[in-house]
Amino acid sequence: MVSFGTPEYKRITLSLALGSFLVFSNLYLLQPMLPTFAQIFTISETQVNWLFAASTLALSFSLVPMAVLSESVGRKPVMMAGLFSIPTLSALMLFGDSFLFLVVCRALIGVALAAFAAVAVAYMAEELDKHAFSMAIGTYIAANSLGGIAGRISGGLLADNFSVDVAIEVIMVFTLLGVIGVHYLLPTQRNFTPSSSSLRHQNRALIGHFKNQRVWFAMLIGGLNFALFVNLYSVMGFRLVSEPHNVPVGLASLIFICYLGGTFSSRCAGHWSKRYSSILGMFLGAIVSMAGMWIAAVESLTAMLFGLLLISFGAFFTHTLAYGWVGQNATRAKATATALYLVHYYVGGSLGGFLLLYCWQHGGWSSVLMGGSAVYLAMFAAIAYLKHIAERKHTDQTPDAASLKSS
């Protein structure tokens, strides 16, 4: 196993962080350009959202198949095939002149993104020792948030100042260069054992993850956490462009800079997990995030931005710890387990949008506070039950200690 601070650890951490940055830059690239695409194709806001939703949905549905594939052929081949496909498919988008063609290309890009996202944490869990893993996962998720910020802001600025095609071309070239760097930096795995098991066996592994409550409740926490985080940002965007704030759409998109709170906290989570309970950290992250939602209720731009920073800090802190918990507590098929976590994560984000946007449309931010608080309470209940499960297993594994206490 690779130890923290060694040259090989640095290569693994840097290459996977770069890959993560590229994946999330491309995932969120078109989000700020949606109004431009709506004008180009003369379509509604709901219709143009398929450019974003196609990649997200394809990503979520491809995670488990990619993880299962990596159990047989290896982690690095699957990750690299996905990464090299991203600039190829981006180039294909430049030749399309219909909206449907672009949607299909974005869906295919979502599949390619899943090849990396589903497997990277399993690679780390297999190659790094416990201390090194706890540090690397923080760096990896920090790169997630940086990629999301960079993709949105660079895409919006390039499209505004040049054109949509230029934005796609610039990010495509940057992605290709980055992928080549990942290919040469990322070491070949030494601790991976290929699985030649049948699809039926892999299905049993999936069912096993759902039955493993220590793993499944962490997945549930991740889904509830992302349902709140990503959609509180969406609602805040609507709030800023409406009365009484009337912030321009381009300026309102800069709220995603508040993701930097998550970049910082994901690194903090790595240090936290070395000394303290991951479950306690998930709880504290949820508390901070919930406090941010309530602070953002104040009708002040300063309060809103500070609230978003707290939401980002708390949500990424909880996400980092829950994600790492799944990778470490899955007893087998680790890539499948981490992929299932991300399925919960993105499905939660999709379903949470329906709830919070419905609350916004029918009662403004006060209704969002009520709906959001209900989801936070569900997350607190899941964290409390995960704590109960973890303590029960610890007691079961130390019967001698339990008998000493009772004597």
- Evaluate whether 111 touches 58 at the Cβ level (below 8 Å): yes
Instruction: Give phi and psi for 189, each to the nearest 5.
Output: -65, 145
Coil, helix or strand at residue 128: strand
pLDDT for res 335:
67
Instruction: Give phi and psi for 259, each to the nearest 5.
Output: -60, -20
- Evaluate whether 140 touches 23 at the Cβ level (below 8 Å): no
pLDDT for res 46:
61
β-pair partners for 164:
none
Closest CA to 206 of 343, 390, 82, 74: 343
pLDDT for res 87:
96
Residues contacting residue 28 through CB under 8 Å, at least 6 positions apart = 147, 148, 151, 152, 155
> Hey, which bits of 23-71 come out as E strands?
none
pLDDT for res 48:
74
pLDDT for res 237:
74
What does 63-100 look like in DSSP terms, one character per residue? HHHHHHHHHHH-HHHHHHHHHHHHHHHHHHHTT--SHH
β-pair partners for 2:
128
Q: Which residues of 184-211 are buried (b: 16+ CB within 10 A; e: fewer)?
A: ebbeebeebeebeeeeeebeebbebbee
With a cut of 50, list the residues of the chain below it in pLDDT.
399-407
- Evaluate whether 257 touches 312 at the Cβ level (below 8 Å): no
pLDDT for res 173:
97
3-state helix, strand, coil in the chain (%, to 5): 85, 0, 15
pLDDT for res 404:
38
What does 195-230 look like in DSSP terms, one character per residue? ----HHHHHHHHHHHHH-HHHHHHHHHHHHHHHHHH
Q: 122 vs 217, 254, 331, CA distance in Å?
A: 19, 33, 12
Q: Which residues of 152-162 are buried (b: 16+ CB within 10 A; e: fewer)?
A: bbbbbebbeee
Amino acid at 157: L
Residues contacting residue 195 through CB under 8 Å, at least 6 positions apart = 71, 72, 201, 333
Coil, helix or strand at residue 330: coil
* Domain coordinates in residue numbering, the chain: 1-187, 197-400
Angle formed by the axes of helices 334-397 and 301-329, nearest 10°: 80
Whether this prediction's pTM lies above 0.85 is answered by no
* Statement: 197-400 belongs to CATH 3.90.1150.10: no
pLDDT for res 401:
42
Coil, helix or strand at residue 296: coil
* Alpha-carbon span 389 to 215, nearest angstrom: 10
pLDDT for res 403:
44
Do 1-187 and 197-400 come out as alike in CATH topology? yes
Task: Look up residue 347 and give its two tokens.
Answer: 């499905």
CATH for 1-187 (1.20.1250.20, 3.30.499.10, 3.30.300.90, 1.25.40.10): 1.20.1250.20
* Alpha-carbon span 323 to 303, nearest angstrom: 30
pLDDT for res 318:
93
In degrees, to the nearest 5, what angle opens at C-alpha 234 toward C-alphas 219 and 227? 15
- Evaluate whether 330 touches 218 at the Cβ level (below 8 Å): no
